[in-house]
Amino acid sequence: MSLTHEDVAWIANLARLAVTDEEIEAYRTQLSAVLDYAARLNELDLTDIEPSAHAVLRQNVWREDVIEPSLPLEDVLFNAAETDQDQFLIQSVLDD
């Protein structure tokens, strides 16, 4: 796919980049080569393949709102530098 001088100038304008005529010519060649490379994907036969926008099923994941077993308190607090009444004791962040 060959981009024109005007295409590149327009892209540069959209990106708010100031480019000289010489630079536009250099980018025209380079960007065209990139598009040519990506265009090779069109050689694949995708007749029986469903289009996909994302690799992962995007749906919300719910669980019942019920209490389930969790880690024992002593394990949870094991790494705490200090504890008080079964809670992490840390330096205060905000003044009173």
Partner 1 sequence: MDVSELTLTELRDALRRGETTSMAATEAMLDRIVRFDNQLRSYLTVTDELAYEQAAEADRRLADGEEAPLLGVPIAVKDIICTTGIPTTAGSKILEGFIPPYDAFVVEQLKEAGAIILGKTNTDEFAMGSSTENSAYVTSANPWDLSRVPGGSSGGSAAAVAAGLAYGALGTDTGGSVRQPASFCGVVGLRPTYGRMSRWGVIAFASSLDQVGTFGRTVADCAAMFEVTAGYDRRDSTSLDVPVPDLRQAMTGDIRGLRVECTA
Catalog residues that contact partner 1 under the rule CB under 8 A.
37, 40-41, 44, 55-57, 61, 63, 71, 75-76, 78-79
Pick 17 or 73: Cβ nearer partner 1: 73
| 29-37, Cβ contacts within 8 angstroms, sequence gap of 24 or more | 31/3, 32/1, 32/2, 32/3, 35/1, 35/3, 36/1
Alpha helices, DSSP H, located in the chain: 5-14, 21-39, 73-76
Pick 15 or 56: Cβ nearer partner 1: 56
Token pair for 65: 């709102």
| Smallest separation (angstroms) from partner 1 to the CB of 20 | 28
Pick 12 or 77: Cβ nearer partner 1: 77
| Smallest separation (angstroms) from partner 1 to the CB of 5 | 27
| 20-27, Cβ contacts within 8 angstroms, sequence gap of 24 or more | none
Pick 10 or 78: Cβ nearer partner 1: 78
| Smallest separation (angstroms) from partner 1 to the CB of 32 | 17
